[in-house]
């Protein structure tokens, strides 16, 4: 590792990237036995995406279900999960877990794309290295950390009242590097009563401590407003997908702040690293006659030590989390007040060792325990406590993960790997407890256990200067999957499920043209109970994303995009006996003009043929996807 930020006292982009986990994924590493897709800063810029979900759908073929007709709110879905799929995907920003303690969605608007250096999408079970939530995959986001002195200004606008303004500055000295940025975005939306806006500010400061240590502190905060147009019955969706089912009185308003310190120390024998953080979310909401205040705080500390080098090593650490949630709710004349806390500790051990010159073995284990404490006081219209809906109790749940894999790399361009993971996921707070006005038959369900499973994978990768190809076959059995049971009016371990399929990628590129296409195939079924053999709702059997690009002249890059999503059963329709969400195919066009080293102009069209489609549906309620949208903008860089 270099002993300073700059070489020869001149600017450079060689800002250290904190490892965050045992494996580095800055590139598509042929040595890593996992399905990994890396989205670089260059890809982020030319994608012209308006949010991380938009970007992930285009560049990584990650599914996203929206309830407001756009990509700034909704759930990620990977490897064949439907309802509450986002609870099975771990999202990490600069080493800090972003998943909420409850079932609420991530605030994607507080992660502006112009502030992101790279995104790594890791498919499949990763609970040994990452712990809870990493059951179907991990999204790792790394923000920019300064470096070359640079000022960037950007403005864009387009259909449905969309406008966005960004300013970003970075710089450094011989020992320090820093950046700061601000973002404002407003979008009235394709549907009525779908206004959203976001204000965000962020900054980071890094320092080389001697020749071997790096310290980075990241701060960000802002305010978000999301209005929800509500579900439509099928005839409303068919006749006018832009309409709203409410009067504009359903919304979330969130104030947030995040602090993420990171320290890494390189030694002759290996390395030490510590990732920590504090995450605050203060949410006011109004939904269907229920209003409330939801304040969440998350504290994290993850020390890790590694002995060895990049080829062979043993690493160990522990992930510590303390989450709190305070809630005040009003449903009509009824009031309730709730306080929750969850303490989680997850020690792990992981090792990698070359068996021969071409074969590498790796594996590890993690044990994790979570203690959840909750108090809820529910009052009736006369202010009298309702004992059957109130509680003050706690519960401790434990689980473990294991992993073993083998990677064979006969040449620099080819690798083949096989692996097994024992995975788990803990239930979210509002899966366990009733406290937001929706009464469960058991207000605090101590019998709800973590869902556990076995994930088997075999994959191959090929890459050279022109071609990139990969194929991963997976088979996941899950015991005690958690879902809402309307017959008992509570979340339960519904039984066993099976998912199997493939993730495929093929890309070809030359100097002035190229194409990339990614496809996911999955079969997800129930394996027990009265729905044995039925398909899991909200899971299309096939979805894919393709990008074709060309540079007819040096300053101009033209792109055509296509996404395909197969038909799927509505959420909640476990019996598979009602109308399905229809398959849909979306096309888009993009143009990027680099006038000179300072000036960049772009234009794009989403949903080119104005396809009417539903991005999601639950029971008889449909959520319209956005119609044709035209957007453009300009950026200046100095």
* Separation CA 15–CA 148 (nearest Å): 9
Residue 330: predicted pLDDT: 84
The pTM of the full predicted model, rounded to 2 decimals, is 0.93
Helix or strand or coil: residue 104?
Answer: coil
> Residue 310 carries which DSSP code?
S
- pLDDT digit string (tens) for 444-463? 999 999 999 999 999 999 99
The predicted pLDDT at position 18 comes to: 47
Mean pLDDT of 56-66: 93
Q: What is the mean pLDDT of residues 289-317?
A: 93
Helix (H/G/I), strand (E/B), else coil: 523: strand
316: which strand partners?
305, 349
Percent of the chain with pLDDT over 90: 78
User: At 128, which helix (H) or strand (E)?
Assistant: helix 127-130
The model's pLDDT over 569-604, given as tens digits with 9 standing for 90+, comes to 999 898 999 889 999 999 999 999 999 989 999 999
What pLDDT sits at residue 239? 96
Query: Using one digit for the tens of pLDDT, what is the confidence trace for 160-187?
Result: 999 999 999 999 988 999 999 999 999 9
Q: What DSSP line would sit under 462-490, residue for residue?
A: EE-SSEEEEEEEEEEEEEEEEEEETTTTE
Beta bridge partners of 63: 77
Tokens read off for 199? 């204000």
**3-class SS at 620?**
coil
User: Is 608 strand, coil or helix?
Assistant: coil
Dump pLDDT digits (tens) for 77-129.
999 999 899 999 999 999 899 999 999 888 898 899 989 999 999 999 999 99
Q: What is the pLDDT of residue 72?
A: 79
Per-residue pLDDT, averaged over 236-264, amounts to: 94
For residue 549, the model assigns a pLDDT of 97
Q: What is the DSSP letter of 15?
A: -
Three-state SS for 632?
Answer: strand
Give yes or no for residue 2 having a pLDDT over 80.
no
Q: Which residues pair with 32 in a beta bridge?
A: none
Asked if residue 477 has pLDDT above 90, the reply is yes
CA distance 157 to 418: 46
Residues 404-408 have a mean pLDDT of: 97
Residues, the chain: 638
CA triplet 272, 275, 276: central angle to 5 degrees? Answer: 140
**Residue 530 vs residue 284, higher pLDDT:** 284
Determine the average pLDDT of the residues in 551-579: 94
- Average predicted confidence (pLDDT) for the chain: 91
- Strands 89-93 and 137-143, how do they pair? parallel
pLDDT tens digits, 185-218: 999 999 999 999 999 999 999 999 988 999 999 9
Q: What is the pLDDT of residue 23?
A: 53
Domains of the chain: 35-637 (2.40.170.20)
* Of 124-138, 282-296, 358-372, 600-614, minimum mean pLDDT range: 282-296
Is residue 4's pLDDT more than 70?
no
The string of DSSP letters for 195-259 reads: -EEEEEEEEEEEEEETTTEEEEEEEEEEEEEEE----B-HHHHHH-TT--SSSS--EEEEEEEEE
Average pLDDT over residues 275-290: 91
* Cα(478)–Cα(451) distance, integer angstroms: 7
* Tokens describing residue 372: 């959840």
pLDDT at 240 over 80: yes
CB 138 within 8 A of CB 626: no
Confidence at 11, pLDDT banded by 50, 70, 90: very low
The CA–CA distances, whole Å, from 32 to 12, 56, 77, 420 equal 29, 21, 23, 14
């Amino acid at each position: 590792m270099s002993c300073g930020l700059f070489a020869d006292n001149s600017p450079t982009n060689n800002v250290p990237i904190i490892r965050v986990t045992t494996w580095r994924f800055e590139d598509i590493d042929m040595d890593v036995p996992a399905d990994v897709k890396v989205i670089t800063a260059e890809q982020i810029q030319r994608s012209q995406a308006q949010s991380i979900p938009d970007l992930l759908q285009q560049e990584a073929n990650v599914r996203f279900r929206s309830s407001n007709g756009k990509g700034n709110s909704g759930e990620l879905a990977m490897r064949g999960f439907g309802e509450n799929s986002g609870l099975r995907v771990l999202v990490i920003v600069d080493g800090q877990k972003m998943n909420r303690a409850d079932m609420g969605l991530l605030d994607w608007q507080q992660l502006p794309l112009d502030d992101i250096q790279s995104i790594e999408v890791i498919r499949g079970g990763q609970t040994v290295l990452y712990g809870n939530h990493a059951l179907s995959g991990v999204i790792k986001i790394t923000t920019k950390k300064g470096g070359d002195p640079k000022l960037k200004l950007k403005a864009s606008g387009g259909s449905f009242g969309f406008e966005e303004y960004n300013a970003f500055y970075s710089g450094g000295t011989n020992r320090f590097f820093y950046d700061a940025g601000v973002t404002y975005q407003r979008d009235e939306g394709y549907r009525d009563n779908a206004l959203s806006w976001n204000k965000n500010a962020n900054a980071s400061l890094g320092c080389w401590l001697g020749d071997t240590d790096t310290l980075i502190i990241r701060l960000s905060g802002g305010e978000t407003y999301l209005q929800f147009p509500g579900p439509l019955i099928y005839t409303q969706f068919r006749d006018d997908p832009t309409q709203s089912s409410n009067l504009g009185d359903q919304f979330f308003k969130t104030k947030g702040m995040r602090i993420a310190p990171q320290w890494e120390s390189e030694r002759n024998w290996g390395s030490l690293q510590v990732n920590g953080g504090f995450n605050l979310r203060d949410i006011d909401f109004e939904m269907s006659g229920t209003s409330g205040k939801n304040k969440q705080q998350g504290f994290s500390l993850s020390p890790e030590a590694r002995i060895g080098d990049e080829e062979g090593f043993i690493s160990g650490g522990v992930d510590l989390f303390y989450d709190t949630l305070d809630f005040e709710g009003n449903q009509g004349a009824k009031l309730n007040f709730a306080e929750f806390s969850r303490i989680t500790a997850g020690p792990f051990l992981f090792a990698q060792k070359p068996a021969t010159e071409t074969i590498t073995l790796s594996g590890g284990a993690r044990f994790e325990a979570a203690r959840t404490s909750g108090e809820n006081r529910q009052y009736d219209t006369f202010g009298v406590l309702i004992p059957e809906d109130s509680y003050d109790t706690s519960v401790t749940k434990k689980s473990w993960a294991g992993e073993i894999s083998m990677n064979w790399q006969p040449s620099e361009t080819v690798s083949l790997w096989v692996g097994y993971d024992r995975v788990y996921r803990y239930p979210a707070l509002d899966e366990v407890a009733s406290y937001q006005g929706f009464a469960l038959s058991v207000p605090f369900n101590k019998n709800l256990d973590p869902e556990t499973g076995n994930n088997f994978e075999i994959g191959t990768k090929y890459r050279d200067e022109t071609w990139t190809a990969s194929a991963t076959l997976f088979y996941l059995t899950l015991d005690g999957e958690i879902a809402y049971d309307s017959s008992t009016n509570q979340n339960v371990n519904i039984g066993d499920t099976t998912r199997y399929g493939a993730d495929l990628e093929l890309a070809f590129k030359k100097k002035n043209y190229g194409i990339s296409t990614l496809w996911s195939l999955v079969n997800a079924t129930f394996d027990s109970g009265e729905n044995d053999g039925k398909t899991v709702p909200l899971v299309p059997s096939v979805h894919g994303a393709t990008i074709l690009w060309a540079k007819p002249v040096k300053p101009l890059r033209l792109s055509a995009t296509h996404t395909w999503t197969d038909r799927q059963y509505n959420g909640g329709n476990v019996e598979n006996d009602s109308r399905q969400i229809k398959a849909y195919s979306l096309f888009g066009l993009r143009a990027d003009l680099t006038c000179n080293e300072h000036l960049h102009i772009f234009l794009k069209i989403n949903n080119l043929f104005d396809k009417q489609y539903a991005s999601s549906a639950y029971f008889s309620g449909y959520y319209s996807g956005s119609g044709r949208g035209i957007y453009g903008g300009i950026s200046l860089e100095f």
